Amino acid sequence: MTESEFNDKVDATLEAIEEMLDEAETDLDYVTSGGVLTVICENHTQIIFTRQAPVKQLWVATRSGGFHFDFDETQDTWVLDSDQTPLSIFLNQAFAEQAGETFEFQL
């Protein structure tokens, strides 16, 4: 994957997350700055998404730790580098645990 393709995939993923948050009836806010998406939960904790172009990964920081996702071409989705959990399943769990919000992310 070229750097341009990587950036396009990250941009599309972050935009999809923003759209889901906009459509949800929640008190979550988010800020996008410099390619970093920061989701601010009602309890004032944050979930932060950052692109890591040198290693072609999407990093997600939650209250429970930092997680690294690789893009899996065969599944056409981001997967956790440690156990291949798809990003959508990871985010459903992360938002439930950290924000107390139920989402059905489809990424």
Q: For each of the chain's 107 residues, which pLDDT tens digit applies?
A: 899 999 999 999 999 999 988 887 777 899 999 889 999 988 899 999 999 999 999 999 999 999 999 999 999 999 999 999 999 999 999 999 988 888 888 77
pTM of the model as a whole:
0.91
What is the structure's pLDDT at 15? Answer: 93
What is the structure's pLDDT at 35? Answer: 84
Q: How many C-beta neighbours within 10 Å does residue 90 have?
A: 20
